[in-house]
Structure 1
Amino acid sequence: MDKKEQYTRVFGHIDTNGDGKISPPELQICIGKMGEELSLEEAEMAAALLGSDGDGLLSMEDLVNIVESANEEEKVSDLKKAFNMYEEKEGSGRITPKSLRRMLSKLGESRTVDDCKMMIAKFDVNGDGVLSFDEFREMMA
């Protein structure tokens, strides 16, 4: 089953009246089935905020956008955690050849600082000799 089929199936399950839109009450029921509470007022606000055409309802496209956005946020969060492991020092916002070498060594990969400089150079877009988070994210793509 491909992603489109999965989204269609989930959408059909949430859209209990089959009108092609998810209403705030349908959204409220769906969230309730997932073990969370959502008041009707909160569901109305969510549908208004996340809906793309201003009708206060969620279309199939809106659902796909919400899920894809949540997946992207999770990926970025995971990448930030990985980046932090390689950072020069916590909060520095950069991976240096020495910090890369140190982390690779912890992972059992023995590399020289020069090897690490070459590895970084491949993705060092601005040429400053270190990897920023954006460069790291591009490298991991």
Structure 2
Amino acid sequence: MTNSSDYKRVFNHFDRDGNGMISPSELQHCVGLIWNKEILLEEVEVVVESSNGNNGNLGFEDFVGLMESAKEEEKFEDLRKAFRMYEMDGTDCITPKSLNRMLNRLGESRSVDECVGMINRFDLNGDGVLNFDEFKQMML
């Protein structure tokens, strides 16, 4: 979902009373149905408040911002999972050896020296490994 009409359609669905605002209880109800679990009203109120809610409610622009933030968080988590796949040594970084092992598992046969070169292209602090921030920069 990326265009405004998609967001507007979902917003209107969440806005059950049609007043042009999503209240915490409306958000709680719809998110609970989507996730198929009960969500505390207090949790939803915190989300609405942190999204610059108008008088404790979400306007359309607030809703779009909340949805975009959720998408960014999902991307971040996906990157974190991908990083963990390459970081196999428990060092919280991608080493030439761990990169070599993962590439071999993926059918990309590379030497450790080639992996050193690959890492050096994105190694911003020059320590010979990729930390998560460097990996994130490389992927974006």
Q: TM-score range by the shorter chain?
A: 0.7 to 0.9
Of 70-79 and 93-102, more deviation after overlay is shown by: 70-79
Counterpart of 1:18 in structure 2 is 18
Residues 33-65 of structure 1 deviation map (CA, whole Å, 9 limit, x = unaligned): 333324555544543x23415511111122122
For the pair 1:99 / 2:98, whether they are aligned, the reply is yes
Give the root-mean-square deviation of aligned CA atoms. Answer: 2.2
Residues 52-84 of structure 1 deviation map (CA, whole Å, 9 limit, x = unaligned): 155111111221222222222222222222211
Counterpart of 1:72 in structure 2 is 72
The SS at the match of 1:98 is helix
- Per the alignment, do residues 54 and 18 of structure 1 end up closer, same or farther by CA in structure 2, a change over 3 Å counting? closer
The SS at the match of 1:63 is helix
Counterpart of 1:109 in structure 2 is 108
Alpha-carbon separation, structure 1, partners of 2:38 and 2:75:
26
Superposed, which structure 2 residues align to 1:74-93 within 5 Å?
74-90=74-90, 92-93=91-92
Counterpart of 1:7 in structure 2 is 7
Q: Give the TM-score of the pair, scaled to structure 1.
A: 0.83
Percent of aligned pairs sharing the same letter: 54
How far is 1:18 from its partner? 2.5
Residues 4-43 of structure 1 deviation map (CA, whole Å, 9 limit, x = unaligned): 1111110011112332211133223323433332455554
How far is 1:136 from its partner? 0.6
Q: Which amino acid aligns with 2:105?
A: K
Counterpart of 1:61 in structure 2 is 61
How far is 1:137 from its partner? 0.9
The SS at the match of 1:57 is coil
> Which residues of structure 1 form unaligned runs of 5+?
none
> Which residues of structure 2 form unaligned runs of 5+?
none
How far is 1:134 from its partner? 0.6
Q: Give the TM-score of the pair, scaled to structure 2.
A: 0.84
Of 22-31 and 73-82, more deviation after overlay is shown by: 22-31
Alpha-carbon separation, structure 1, partners of 2:2 and 2:106:
35
Alpha-carbon separation, structure 1, partners of 2:131 and 2:77:
15
Tell me the matched-pair count: 139
